[in-house]
Structure 1
Amino acid sequence: MTGAAGGPVSGATLIVLAKAPVPGRVKTRLTPPYTPEEAARIAEASLADTLDAVLATPARRRLLVLDGEPGPWLPPGIEVLPQCAGGLDERIAAAFAACTGPALLIGMDTPQVTPALLAPALADPGPGDAWFGPAEDGGFWALGLTEPDPSLLLGVPMSVAETGRVQRQRLYDAGLTVRVLARLRDVDTARDAQLVAAEAPHGRFARSLTAGSVTAARAPVAEPPTAGSPTAEPPTTGPLTAGPRAW
């Protein structure tokens, strides 16, 4: 059996937690300098690039857990499930609860994601394994669980500087072996957008920035992340200094 990209199908579910790209409801931290309409176009491009990567990644099931209504940006091959009400921890927990077997969840704020970055967490995870994708701001851009358990998410403070540390410690406290994916920058601010576009200059996201009517300050080119060889990591107990992360 082969996946959308022609490779062998992973036994895992690949989840994208996202908001429909509606002006005034998404990427509000981009306004200003962008208008709400421009910010929504940027969000749509970010989501489209993310879904392209998901479709190119072998998976048993591809699930978009969506706040809002699907639009013409939704490609074939993606199952849509409405997000539940509640805080971000509750919504992520509910997304995992909708899955059976291994699952990897990502957001829509890392349009530079590639199948190579996702692949380690989908390749025959072992019992008791968890995968954690740290974000530059102290949160996380990916979370993978061999056995989805909503209790691993509920009560974790989201969108604060210590989100990643608390979530990772929750996994360790449950006795899981936590393996780490590449660190990525997620798009919260206009500067984030410029840096991420420099990492992935050929995607819809980068084109959406150049197509806008607002010209943001040119950001230095960041070194692109590499997937590397994920390894088990001991608990992190020190404070994080990065800013908050939210989907």
Structure 2
Amino acid sequence: MIQLLVMAKAPVPGRVKTRLCPPCTPAEAAAVAAAALADTLDAAKDLSAVRRVLVLDGDHPAPSGWVRVPQRGDGLGERLAKAFADTALPGVPSLLIGMDTPQVTPELLDTAAAALLRDGAVLGPADDGGWWALGLSDPAGAAVLRNVPMSTAATGERTVAELHRRGVRPVMLPALRDVDTAADAVAVAARCRPGQRFPAIVASLSSLAGHAVTAGSRA
């Protein structure tokens, strides 16, 4: 059994998904973020886990059965490291994902959990050079994230390098595209399952309609 951590920011206009503005308004961007978070939590609800934790920046309710823990730290790397440290359970591996890949499936999370239990560490690369998932059997290994510049095209590569220096060799998971820009939102919506909130909200926003042409620029 593993512990699942979802790293999230409360969907407050003006504080979340600001790279969607323009073309979105801050309220529209917050609605996109809220849908992404809801779909991510839905995908995780049936995962066999000792505990599910919403590691939150801001104020937003956690689903029934989830624990809510505040994010701590000045930069994203430090916040990620402290998310692992603050939630650590003795002898239980932790799998951390973000809220920016609502196309993640329960099956992919099951695969990630199984690989984490088998191999001790996993990393899910993102198409933009970052990563969407990190699983560690020893949460102390996440301390290396303080040395990794976040939100760059080399974030994933640097994360792997820092883990290797600590003797941790993560198994790579399938790559996913995360939602930063309008083109990302349209492309990710096309990869979601029927009935999800994220594709519905993206389809409802006229501000995103013109970005479908460029959505394939980063598959």
Partner secondary structure for residue 94 of structure 1: helix
Asked if 1:75 corresponds to 2:63, the answer is yes
Equivalents in 2 of 1:50, 1:125: separation in Å? 19
Residues 136-175 of structure 1: pairs in structure 2 closer than 5 A: 136-149=127-140, 150-175=142-167
In the alignment, which residue of structure 2 is the partner of 1:87? 75
Q: Is the 8 A contact 1:33 1:216 kept in 2?
A: no
Q: Measure how far apart 1:130 and its partner are.
A: 1.1
In the alignment, which residue of structure 1 is the partner of 2:49? 59
Q: Is the 8 A contact 1:134 1:182 kept in 2?
A: yes
Partner secondary structure for residue 139 of structure 2: coil
Unaligned stretches of 5+ in structure 2? none
Q: Is the 8 A contact 2:47 2:106 kept in 1?
A: yes
Q: TM-score, normalised by structure 1?
A: 0.80
In the alignment, which residue of structure 1 is the partner of 2:100? 109
Distance 1:139 1:125, change over 3 A: closer
Equivalents in 2 of 1:186, 1:219: separation in Å? 18
The amino acid of 1:108's aligned partner reads M
Q: Measure how far apart 1:129 and its partner are.
A: 2.1
In the alignment, which residue of structure 2 is the partner of 1:13? 3
Q: Measure how far apart 1:125 and its partner are.
A: 3.7
Q: Cα deviation per residue 1:33-77 (whole Å; 9 max; x = unaligned)? A: 111000000000000000001112111110000000014xx4212
In the alignment, which residue of structure 2 is the partner of 1:99? 88
**1:28 equivalent among 3, 18, 35:** 18
Q: Measure how far apart 1:126 and its partner are.
A: 5.0
In the alignment, which residue of structure 2 is the partner of 1:239? none
Identity %: 51
Partner secondary structure for residue 152 of structure 2: coil
**Which 4+ stretches in 1 moved above 3 angstroms?**
124-128, 219-222
Equivalents in 1 of 2:35, 2:182: separation in Å? 15
Give the paired residue count.
Answer: 211
Equivalents in 1 of 2:191, 2:22: separation in Å? 23
Q: Is the 8 A contact 2:121 2:137 kept in 1?
A: yes
In the alignment, which residue of structure 1 is the partner of 2:200? 207
Equivalents in 2 of 1:36, 1:126: separation in Å? 40
Q: Cα deviation per residue 1:117-149 (whole Å; 9 max; x = unaligned)? A: 111231274587210000000000000001111
Partner secondary structure for residue 122 of structure 2: strand
Q: Measure how far apart 1:213 and its partner are.
A: 4.3
Q: Measure how far apart 1:219 and its partner are.
A: 4.0
Q: Is the 8 A contact 1:197 1:206 kept in 2?
A: yes
Partner secondary structure for residue 56 of structure 2: strand
Unaligned stretches of 5+ in structure 1? 1-10, 223-241, 243-247
Normalized per residue, the structure richer in helix is 2
Q: Is the 8 A contact 1:130 1:145 kept in 2?
A: yes
Q: Is the 8 A contact 1:106 1:143 kept in 2?
A: yes
Distance 1:128 1:173, change over 3 A: farther
The Cα RMSD (Å) is 1.9
Distance 1:127 1:22, change over 3 A: same
Partner secondary structure for residue 111 of structure 2: helix
